[in-house]
């Protein structure tokens, strides 16, 4: 499998999970033309799209996806907030597993964010059994997982850098609680990873880094030292190989 990064910041988030049998979109918070370009203007092999919540940096192109025939899955709260009606929308619930064609099995789970009904997704690629966890825009994940192979997880900010920016007046104090209660810090990511079985994990991809409150080098180093796993930061245009022996 391959992970193509279309966008991974507050400006827009979208990832394409490419497999030998079809692709899956993870969020759609960039202009539709960028998604088309990332797919080489071929939507035929797109099996579906998973949307985490209604904020535009994650859901900007949902309407266009449905118009172009892409089955798009999201929570009822997210669907209601977006106000889009289409037979291509599939409303899903946390804890209720569902299939996407014969390629993927998806288990939604609750996340914590300042929006209606945010979700993360545990994705299994059916032909090989590979499991990928996708979680963004959350400050806590109550679920615990095992047998994961790949983890795409938000690592938005470093607490000390945020505090320094607030003290220097670069960020209003009023935004502090919103960040802390909406996004994963480096420390939160570490706590989450330590609470899960990482035995079979081969790759951890850090996503949605803050432009001014993060340190990519420090984050990668910290997670790598903690887990002993291969760690990368998602950057627009990057293609990350997701390889699991013997596949």
Residue 30: what pLDDT? 98
Tokens representing residue 155 in the block? 């690592």
- Domains of the chain (ranges plus CATH)? 2-241 (3.60.15.10)
Give yes or no for a contact between 6 and 236, defined as CB atoms under 8 angstroms apart. yes
pLDDT in tens, 104-146: 999 999 999 999 999 999 999 999 999 999 999 999 999 999 9
Residue 7: what pLDDT? 98
* Alpha carbon distance 136, 206 (integer Å): 10
Place of tokens 């400006």: 11
Residue 178: what pLDDT? 78
3-state helix, strand, coil in the chain (%, to 5): 25, 30, 45
- For CA atoms 34, 35, 38, 39, the dihedral sign is negative
Say how many Å lie between the first and final Cα of the chain, rounded.
9
Global pTM reads 0.96
Using 70 as the pLDDT threshold, list the residues of the chain that sit under it. Answer: 245-247
Query: Which one-letter DSSP state was computed for residue 190?
Result: H
Give yes or no for a contact between 214 and 157, defined as CB atoms under 8 angstroms apart. yes
Residue 246: what pLDDT? 45
């Amino acid at each position: 499998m391959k992970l193509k990064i279309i966008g991974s910041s507050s400006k827009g988030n979208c990832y394409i999970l490419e497999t030998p049998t079809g692709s899956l979109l993870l969020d759609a918070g960039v202009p539709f033309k960028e998604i088309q370009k990332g797919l080489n203007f071929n939507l035929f092999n797109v099996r579906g799209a998973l949307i985490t919540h209604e904020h535009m940096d994650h859901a900007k192109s949902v309407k266009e996806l449905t118009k172009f025939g892409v089955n798009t899955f999201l929570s009822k709260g997210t669907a209601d907030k977006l106000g889009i009606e289409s037979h291509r929308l599939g409303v899903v619930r946390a804890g209720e597993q569902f299939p996407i064609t014969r390629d993927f099995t998806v288990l939604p789970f609750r996340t914590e964010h300042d929006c209606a009904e945010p979700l993360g997704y545990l994705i299994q690629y059916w032909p090989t059994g590979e499991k990928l966890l996708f979680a963004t825009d959350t400050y806590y994940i109550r679920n615990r997982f095992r047998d994961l192979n790949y983890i795409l997880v938000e690592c938005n900010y470093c607490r000390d850098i945020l505090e320094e920016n607030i003290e220097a007046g670069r960020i209003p104090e009023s935004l502090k609680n919103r960040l802390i209660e909406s996004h994963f810090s480096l420390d939160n990511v570490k706590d989450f990873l330590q609470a899960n079985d990482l035995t079979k994990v081969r790759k951890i991809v850090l996503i949605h880094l803050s432009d001014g409150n993060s340190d990519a080098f420090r984050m990668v180093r910290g997670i790598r030292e903690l887990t002993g796993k291969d760690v990368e930061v998602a950057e627009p245009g990057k293609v990350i190989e997701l390889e699991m022996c013997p596949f």
